[in-house]
Structure formats: structure tokens, C-alpha cells
Structure 1
């Protein structure tokens, strides 16, 4: 364990990635970012992005949700009949076809999480204006929890994949909501990249107003470094040395995902009926059929998102768990890079589930072209859900607990 030191203690902060005490430069110039010199975790961004700019983006996104989710984003013309799809319809159709849990997962990631995240940001600004602590705590907690689950960008890619799959069977018509979705995706990505919960809590009460003689705990919600206690002195969230039962919960999620990945890959995930032929596709056979249909780009996207990414997450998290449990002392920086990669790629496993929901909405039952999900989709949904939970439950600081005292303790943060 690294111990906090007293000189210039008001300028010391514990790294949220590895708990290294670092002397913090209060203001970085625009374009410069602060990174931990040991684990590479980004600590702060340069410049002073306006919080009111975040509010403007959040309100704009909330307004865009109306046309993006109410109007059709795509339609197909088949045998003289036009079928349209809205974003929520895919989830409702999964529900009506006997896949309620899969429906809830698709609805949550594509609709509920993005809307609630933007609304929570508005609540944070209202709380700052009214000095409303409960609203501030609720809003920042929701943002912290929902950031990994807002997947509008993944949904947009799935729309493109579904269009390529259907272009040989029907005419594709772009709906007005697709343009709103594209703008919404750009603004939401910009908003998520700008939002820093530390900046909001600094606006609520700056860190320098706390007179701490030691800093041995780091709050994962508001990023205040402080002495040992049961609750954070600023946001009043429970304060722990490490996430409670992090290794046990991560292992449980990972074992369950490892069991589910076998039926997810062996049992058909989709069933397409065309011209009287019933075509049952597993994930792998679907990739092969896309290659045979002269769509190598889409085949590669599906292969990476639905086969490589889940396997990489399971293997990567398993390796990190073993290293954290046995307190391996070498290659810790490399393991941290694996952790960062796993967090970034995790959400892209949802792509195939979004494609299934879009196909189910556009290709009605009873037509010459018919589509239904296979039982393998349930297992694949479990893999996606469990690996996302495993990633969020793993505390990266456990990878560094056995690191010897470093001479870089207290050094100024790197600027890149």
C-alpha cells in the first residue's frame, strides 16, 4: 500500500486506477490530459469545459429522442407492402415472441439508459442551481451506473448490418428517424466524453475546502481522496478501500458467462424462412453465409463483435482475476492496458442482439420472408449481460495492491 504523505497534502490525489498518491496540477492547459505515471489511467482533462455546454447537449439529446424513437428509422418494401421499424418496436416484438429478458436488455441499452442518463445530467444542473444535495447525489450516481449501458452508437452500426442483410430480399427505405439517430449518436458521444463527475462535485464543493491530514481512500463516485471512513465526506456514498467482494462477484459473473457461451455459439441464434426454405444460423454459420453472399465487411464486423469480443472479454477478465488473486508483481502496466481494452470493447457484443430486434421488426411472420430469433439468442444475451457486469464489478486497484513502494509516489502527473 502506498501511504499518503503530508507535504503539500492539499494537492495530492489518489489515482482511481491504482491508488497511487499523485501531486495534482490544479489547472491543465486546453488540449493536455493528465495520466497516472504508473497505470496510465486518465485523471483529468485540460481546459475548463463549460458545464452549461453539457446541459445544452443533454437537453438537445432529450429533444432528439422524440423523433428518433417515435418515427420509423428504416422501412422495407416487400411484395408491394411496406414494413417500418421504430427503435422501441424491436424490443416489443422480442417480448411478443417469447423473449422477455432479451427484450428488456435491448430496450434498456437502446432506449432507457440513454434517456435516463441525459435526464440525470439535467437533474445534476438543477441540483447545482438549487443546492439540492439529494438531486446531486441521485443524478451523479445514475450517470456513473448507466454510462457503460448507453449504446446508441452500437445500435446505429446494427442498423447498417441489418440493411446489408436485407438488401437482397427487399428495397430499403431510410426513414426520418435515422437522421435524428445519427445526430443523436454524435451528440451523445460528445456529451459522454465531456461529462466528468469530478467536475460536477468540484462545482458542488471544491476538494481544497476539505482539510485532510491523510488521504487513504478514494471515492469512486465523486473522486475525492480522503481519510479512512465509512462514507464519503462529499457525496456521502459508502466508502470502501476496494469494491466489496470484487473478485468474488467478477468470478461468479465470469463463470456463468463461460457456461452460457457454449449454447450461445452452438444453438441457432436466428431462423430465416425464405422461399419455403428454413435457414437456421448459429453465430459462426451466419458469418460464413455472409462471406458466401459476398458481404465480407459485414461478416468481419459480426465475427469480431459476436465471437472475438465475448471470447476476448472472458479470457481477458479471467487472466486479470488470476493475476489479482495470486498478486502477480510483473507486467502490471500491461494488465492495466488489457483492463482498459476490455472496458472499451465490452458494449459491442450487443450488436448482434440489436440486429435480431431490427430484423424481427421488419420481416413480419406469415410473409414469404420470415424471421424469428433462435434459442441461442437467449444464451448470447446472457453472455453479453454477464460480461458487462463482470467488467464493472472488477476493481482495477486490486491489480496493484502488491506493487512495491515506488519512487514515483507523489510525483507530478504526466501530461500528454
Structure 2
């Protein structure tokens, strides 16, 4: 059954302990008691503010420990094998990154290894650290664990890697026999657990367990901490988590613009230069992203072709155009349609990681097919440019402060101040 998604927060003047600022638009809202199955959303921008019920934090711990245990077989044993020329070749998850390094693509290797192995493992370990810190009232451990979770959430891409395995299997099906390895089953379970874990984890719940917001008894709330979600008076550091406190993310527009311009430049070689080179029966086949999509259509694999087209062509372009539009609106403080712009922002954040799919496919293909015999596979220089596009657009999304989109709203203090100055 679909959870109810009605806005259960009310606009309010920030003068008591039941009020907090929306992390999406800085609107003061008064919290209400939520029953299980209900979620609270900001009535102005639609940002999720709280979840109903009281999901057990120990449930998160169980999921994190189980995931850490599953990482051992998932990353140690072959997840897929092919039978080629009478010989069986196997691939493990870390081997893809290692082969990229061996072929002279160190930056791609680091990116693939970080998103497929390091980020999800460290994320689960940080969650265990948070529980240990809560149990022992260890502030430094709590701060470190929540900071790691906040930073790594967008980079843990086990689900994207699993889809890339399916795409690679369809691509290789015409050249070799596919054999499913034992680690694939562990990866499937791991993907389910990681998605559940990421959707359940709320840093605000952990900091509320550390020290509830109502114990601070603030009479004015003019700053919102993006790390622990405590609304509080003016200050240089958060009173709960001690992170630097800013009215908006420092240099948000400048950093977002820099990342976006670099990604816009890199997207041209990413689409024009071959991203992969397949040598079969002495014939050299160089594929750009677009030609690879066309060849998949010609090979009667329209489903995989659509997935690659959406993830590798449509999503990067949509991210650049969407972020560029939001950046211009925030810079010029355009009034009206802020709610629609927030929807664009949410969509950009949601689809961002799926651009990594093509890079994961390349790492898998390189591990299985790079045999220097009748069938050989190497990445093209276009893969480097595409990796830059993925990396830079993810950074641009994280650096953009959505609250800047609301500074032109009539209720915004900045907007009111500018009106009074005219």
C-alpha cells in the first residue's frame, strides 16, 4: 500500500521548540504527531521533512551488519563467467577497476571502485560506528559517522552496478556462453538490503537520539544545520553536531557553475570519441555511445538499447540542462514557479547516479573479454570524458543549495529586505 504523502507540517512563526526550518526552502514549519504510514512534507517546496512512526534504529544496524557480511562473498567470488574458446573466464567486482588501472585508466578505475565497492562498504561501516557512538556516548564517533553517511549516500551504487551486470550479459550473449557465479546471488540480496538501508536511514533520527531538538529551547530559529537538521539561532557552528553553520552553502552558485561548465565541455568528446573498442575475428569495432545504442537496436536488443540511451545520453544531458536552468533562476532570483523548479531539482538528484551504468558495463566487459585472442575489448578515450561528465554532474548536484531557489519568494527574508531597500 502506498504511504500517504499529505503535507503534515504547517507554516508557523519560528518562536517555539516545536518549529523547525525546512531544509529545502527554509520555511518555518510546526511539527505534528505522525502516525505510522504517514510522511510529512513541506507545504511550500514538497521536501520530505519527517517520516511517520518510529522505525527502530536497531533495524538499521541489523541491515548494515548483514550487508557488511554479504560484501565478503559478493566481492570475493566470481559474479559472472563466460565460456569462450573452450576456456571459462570469471569476473569479480574489484577486478573491473583493477583492469581499468592496468590499461592506463587510473581515474576511471578509482571512480568505478569507489562507487561499486568503497562507498557502500564505508557507508555501512559508518552506520555501525554511529550505533557504537550512541551506545557509548562518543561524540567524535557520532560526528564522523554521520558526516560519512551524509557525504557517501549519493555515491553508493550497488543497484546501478547490478543493472550493468544484466546489460553486459546481454551484450556478451552473442559471443560466449554466460555462466552465473555465486557472488551474483549475494549481490542481488545486497542490493535489496542497501536500497532498504539508504531509504530508511535518517540522520535527523540519529541526532535526535543523541540529543532531541526540544531540549535546546530556542526562542528564535534562523539557521538550519544541513548535517543534523537542527534549527537554531544565529551562530558560527551548530549547537548539536558542531559543524560549521551557514545561511546557505558557501559559494554554492560559483561551485555549481564551475562543475557544470566543465561537464558541458566534457560531454562533447564523451559522445563523439569512441567509448569502447571491440576486436573480434581481426575486425576492429569502435563504438561511441550513440553507435553502441544503434548496434544494440540492430542486434534485436531494443530494451538494453533504451536503457543505455536513457542512462548514457538522455540522463547526462537532462542533468546539465536542468542544473543550468536552476542555476540561472537562482542567480537572477526569478519569482514564480519555485515549486516546479524544486521538482526538477528532485528529479536531477534521483537520476544522477544512473549515468554510471555505462562505465560499470565497460569494467565488466574489460574483465571478461580482454583476452588478446579472437575476442578482445578495450575502453576508448571517450570513456574518460564520459567519466568526467558523470563525476562533475554529481558534484554539481550536491553543491547546489535548493534554498537559493526560494530567496526570491515573497516570504523570504532576503526578498523582503531587497523590497525595503528599493
**Deviation at residue 275 of structure 1 after TM alignment:** 1.0
- Work out the CA distance in 2 between the residues paired with 1:32 and 1:368: 58
Structure 2: unaligned runs, 5 residues or longer: 1-10, 413-422
Structure 2 equivalent of residue 17 of structure 1: 24
- Provide the secondary structure at the position in 2 that maps to 1:240: coil
Confirm or deny that 1:104 pairs with 2:110.
Answer: yes
Which 4+ residue blocks in structure 1 deviate beyond 6 angstroms? Answer: none
Output aligned runs, 1:173-252, within 5 Å: 173-252=179-258
- Work out the CA distance in 2 between the residues paired with 1:206 and 1:33: 19
**Deviation at residue 405 of structure 1 after TM alignment:** 1.9
Q: Tell me the alpha carbon deviations over residues 26-64 of structure 1, each in whole angstroms, 9 at most, x when there is no partner.
A: x31111000000000000111100000000000000000
- Work out the CA distance in 2 between the residues paired with 1:93 and 1:405: 55
Give the root-mean-square deviation of aligned CA atoms. Answer: 1.0
- Work out the CA distance in 1 between the residues paired with 2:214 and 2:74: 43
Structure 2 equivalent of residue 5 of structure 1: 13
**Deviation at residue 211 of structure 1 after TM alignment:** 1.5
- Work out the CA distance in 2 between the residues paired with 1:380 and 1:97: 17
Confirm or deny that 1:60 pairs with 2:66.
Answer: yes
Q: How many equivalent residue pairs?
A: 402
Confirm or deny that 1:353 pairs with 2:359.
Answer: yes
**Deviation at residue 330 of structure 1 after TM alignment:** 1.2
C-alpha contact (below 8 Å) 1:55/1:125 kept by paired residues:
yes
TM (norm. structure 2) is 0.94
**Deviation at residue 363 of structure 1 after TM alignment:** 0.5
Structure 1 equivalent of residue 168 of structure 2: 162
- Provide the secondary structure at the position in 1 that maps to 2:81: strand
- Work out the CA distance in 1 between the residues paired with 2:13 and 2:341: 27
Q: Tell me the alpha carbon deviations over residues 113-159 of structure 1, each in whole angstroms, 9 at most, x when there is no partner.
A: 00000000000000000000000000000000000000000000000
- Name which of 397, 404, 412 aligns with 2:403: 397
Structure 1 equivalent of residue 6 of structure 2: none
**Deviation at residue 4 of structure 1 after TM alignment:** 7.6
- Work out the CA distance in 2 between the residues paired with 1:36 and 1:367: 59
Structure 1: unaligned runs, 5 residues or longer: 407-416
C-alpha contact (below 8 Å) 1:4/1:215 kept by paired residues:
no
C-alpha contact (below 8 Å) 2:24/2:403 kept by paired residues:
yes
**Deviation at residue 402 of structure 1 after TM alignment:** 1.3
Q: Tell me the alpha carbon deviations over residues 212-261 of structure 1, each in whole angstroms, 9 at most, x when there is no partner.
A: 11000000000000001000000000000000000000000000000000
- Provide the secondary structure at the position in 2 that maps to 1:231: coil
Structure 2 equivalent of residue 48 of structure 1: 54
TM (norm. structure 1) is 0.96
**Deviation at residue 387 of structure 1 after TM alignment:** 0.1
C-alpha contact (below 8 Å) 1:270/1:371 kept by paired residues:
yes
- Provide the secondary structure at the position in 2 that maps to 1:144: helix
**Deviation at residue 378 of structure 1 after TM alignment:** 0.2
